[in-house]
Structure 1
Amino acid sequence: MAGDVVRRRSRSRAGSADGFARLVAHTDPVALIGITLSIFLSVTLDLTNAATGVESLLAGLMGITISLLVDSLARAERRFHLRTLLDGPPWLVRATPQLAAAIREAAERHAGTRVAVEAQHRYEEFRLEAEQLAAGRVIRRGDDDEDLVGATRDCARELLGLTNVMPRASGELSWWRGDVGRRYWEANVAALARGVRITRIFVFATLTDELTELVEKQRRAGVRVGLLPFGAVSTHLHVNLTIWDGSSCWEARMTAHGEISENQFSVNRADVDRLTRIFRLCADRATFQD
């Protein structure tokens, strides 16, 4: 019996502490500081006899009232800002409260476990990805060809490509023989059939028979192919890229072994202009067989 009483009191104290923590967490810092200063002012006035007890109490209550008013205005502004953010596509309005509720439940119900840590980690990843999307960029794994192939299928007028054949083994040519490369080439052939102009530059260390065969295959299909030896341009221009209709672009991020670790599709104007400049600089030095 005594043990039950102790446990109930412990839970009561824990609940009170938790409630106070929630109050502090959801109160504007300015209001907390204002309330604290108001209480301190009231006590100081009373202890120093600078004011009567009633005057000290009124001064403190006035300060607390002003602080709570400021907190109320801040809350109203945050609610207005949140409503403004949610004034968007229907799917965003529906999903955002559900997402926030799920993350909060995972963090609070499973506090102190790996689940709560993972919830925060995934939310941070989502936030970073959302910021990239807001900037007009989609970043995917190296073996994900959704944007590369999809944008080629959507291309209406012109496709510009730059492929670096790494100076080791098969290098980028193995990519062209793989599943992603084959799907990309099929999309290229379909684009040529509907009148899209394709210009591709191969940057190479050695003009091997394998590379020559690939170049001739693409030329026969209708691609305008240029060849650019390593050393003809600065190494910072050795970028694997594709540009569609001058309005969107794709860039591969490479490992030290010449493998694509991730790729970035972008409609960001700065990205498109940067990759277009790189392509033009390489095209000025490349040899085309017109």
Structure 2
Amino acid sequence: MRRRSKGRAGSADGLARLVAHTDPVALVGIALSVFLSVTLDLTNAATGVESLLAGLMGITISLVLDSLARAERRFHLRTLLDGPPWLVRTTPQVAGAVREAAERHAGTRVAAEAQRRYEEFRLEAEQLAAGRIVRRGDDEEDLVGATRDCKREMVGLTNVMPRFSGELSWWRGDVGRRYWEANLAALARGISITRIFLYATLSDELAELVETQRRAGVRVGLLPHGAVGTHLHVNLAVWDGSSCWEARMTAHGEISENQFSVNRSDVERLTRIFRHCADAATFHG
């Protein structure tokens, strides 16, 4: 009894897999072929043999179309995998692991988590395809790294907004210090750096920061809050006119997301913002 039940379950699973992996057009064609064969036989519009042959012919055509569709999908997959060796080597492993998690642990939190993580990966891959790297707010790897890689010129816009914890806390933190060290190294290499500070209040602390950067060789501009539209209140950096960084801010002025991009439209947009602010800013020294 157990063997028989197992055999029936296996047959049912096999049929389910066959239906799931067959093209919908082929399934509709097979169903119509069977319906046509039965109709011809019941209405005596054709002999039994003719009805059977008509049904078999329709089923054959449907399966041939399904085979062609499968071949087209396989060709498309092979084309996608015709890339760097690491992509060719790891893609089947990733796809196989996600499929196994979804099928072996169907209906559990594991399967749901596999789907969620795969969806996150898909969205991140789409951003990368567009030339963007999106990281969490406390990860400034690209901001510091791109400054170290800069070849000729760097421009930046820094918003110094009032906060509950006081102004300029970012520059005093670990990330700000590492970023400033990368700035100093770039200046030592002969890189031209222009930075605009958009401020609400020109405090002694801000004046000291501005003077420190000026003495180091940064061309510093000051832009009072309200001199430009709020849509230009963006924390940004552009390197060599070919890559850029933008900070997405919370309501309290904290960085929630970092976006590094080599997308031409992003670079041009942030360059325009910087130029508008530069036209309204006051440069000293």
Unmatched tracts of structure 2, length 5 or more: none
Q: Residue in 2 aligned with 1:194?
A: 189
- For 1:112 and 1:228, the matched residues in 2 are separated by 57
2:38 paired with 1:38: no
Q: TM-score, normalised by structure 1?
A: 0.96
Give the secondary structure class of the aligned counterpart of 2:226.
Answer: coil
Give the secondary structure class of the aligned counterpart of 2:155.
Answer: strand
2:251 paired with 1:244: no
2:17 paired with 1:22: yes
Q: Residue in 2 aligned with 1:87?
A: 82
Give the secondary structure class of the aligned counterpart of 1:19.
Answer: helix
Give the secondary structure class of the aligned counterpart of 2:269.
Answer: helix
Q: Residue in 2 aligned with 1:289?
A: 284
Amino acid at match of 1:114: R
Give the secondary structure class of the aligned counterpart of 2:258.
Answer: strand
Could you tell me which of 272, 287, 290 is aligned with 2:267? 272
Could you tell me which of 91, 114, 118 is aligned with 1:96? 91
Per the TM alignment, residue 13 of structure 1 is displaced from its structure 2 partner at its CA by 2.7
- For 1:208 and 1:47, the matched residues in 2 are separated by 94
Per the TM alignment, residue 50 of structure 1 is displaced from its structure 2 partner at its CA by 1.2
Give the secondary structure class of the aligned counterpart of 2:227.
Answer: coil
Q: How does 1:68-217 map to 2 (within 5 A)?
A: 68-169=63-164, 173-217=168-212
Amino acid at match of 2:127: Q
Q: Contact 1:165–1:171 (CA<8 Å) still a contact in 2?
A: no
Q: Deviations over 1:192-248 (max 9, x none)?
A: 000100000000110000000000000000000000011111101100000000000
2:44 paired with 1:49: yes
- For 1:116 and 1:169, the matched residues in 2 are separated by 43
Per the TM alignment, residue 11 of structure 1 is displaced from its structure 2 partner at its CA by 2.8
Q: Deviations over 1:141-173 (max 9, x none)?
A: 111111000000000100010000112355551
- For 2:126 and 2:210, the matched residues in 1 are separated by 39
Give the secondary structure class of the aligned counterpart of 1:246.
Answer: coil
Q: Contact 1:203–1:229 (CA<8 Å) still a contact in 2?
A: yes
Per the TM alignment, residue 54 of structure 1 is displaced from its structure 2 partner at its CA by 1.0
Per the TM alignment, residue 8 of structure 1 is displaced from its structure 2 partner at its CA by 3.6
**Compared CA separation, residues 171 and 280, structure 1 to 2 (3 A):** farther
| Count of aligned residue pairs for this structure pair | 285
Per the TM alignment, residue 111 of structure 1 is displaced from its structure 2 partner at its CA by 1.1
Q: Residue in 2 aligned with 1:235?
A: 230
Amino acid at match of 1:154: D
Pick which of 81-90 and 11-20 moved more. 11-20
- For 2:203 and 2:167, the matched residues in 1 are separated by 13
Q: Deviations over 1:12-34 (max 9, x none)?
A: 33222211111011111111111
Q: Deviations over 1:33-66 (max 9, x none)?
A: 1101100111111111111111111111110010
Q: Deviations over 1:80-108 (max 9, x none)?
A: 11110000000000000110111111111
Pick which of 46-55 and 225-234 moved more. 46-55
Q: TM-score, normalised by structure 2?
A: 0.98
Q: Residue in 1 aligned with 2:214?
A: 219
- For 1:239 and 1:209, the matched residues in 2 are separated by 23
Percent identity at matched positions? Answer: 86
Amino acid at match of 1:142: G
- For 2:9 and 2:121, the matched residues in 1 are separated by 33
Q: Residue in 1 aligned with 2:58?
A: 63
**Compared CA separation, residues 154 and 171, structure 1 to 2 (3 A):** farther
- For 2:73 and 2:61, the matched residues in 1 are separated by 18
Amino acid at match of 2:95: A
